[in-house]
Amino acid sequence: DAGVIQSPRHEVTEMGQEVTLRCKLISGHNSLFWYRQTMMRGLELLIYFNNNVPIDDSGMPEDRFSAKMPNASFSTLKIQPSEPRDSAVYFCASSRGQGAWNTEAFFGQGTRLTVV
């Protein structure tokens, strides 16, 4: 298996533009986590899906952020409009079962987003 695949690896965009980050889960996994990592705030959980259903989105910063799972193997995280403070590395992780209980989460390589 190729692991969790994120695209793009790097994204540079201008403030106000829409940004879409993509994540492909490992085959057979049914839980998905989106994290954001910055120097100031560390690793923050943004949203968690189980079986395509958002279970907890309390970490999503504001309405500019939205995440979807259009099917069992794919997710998108959209920021519209983007702001410089959204600059961070965004990681996607997937696991089997309910959340990651009694299993482990596998992380993608991350998307480094820079908003100028």
Residues forming the site for another protein (CB under 8 A)? 31, 33, 35, 42-43, 45, 48, 50, 55-56, 91, 93, 95, 98-102, 104-110
CB 19 within 8 A of CB 71: no
Cβ 108 to another protein shortest distance, Å: 6
**Closer Cβ to another protein, 74 or 106, answer by number:** 106
The Cα 108–Cα 94 span in angstroms is 9
Cβ 99 to another protein shortest distance, Å: 3
The Cα 33–Cα 54 span in angstroms is 10
The Cα 39–Cα 19 span in angstroms is 21
**Closer Cβ to another protein, 80 or 98, answer by number:** 98
Cβ 103 to another protein shortest distance, Å: 8
Cβ 16 to another protein shortest distance, Å: 29
**Closer Cβ to another protein, 69 or 110, answer by number:** 110
**Closer Cβ to another protein, 38 or 80, answer by number:** 38
Least Cα distance to 71 among 92, 49, 56, 99 occurs for 49
The Cα 75–Cα 42 span in angstroms is 22
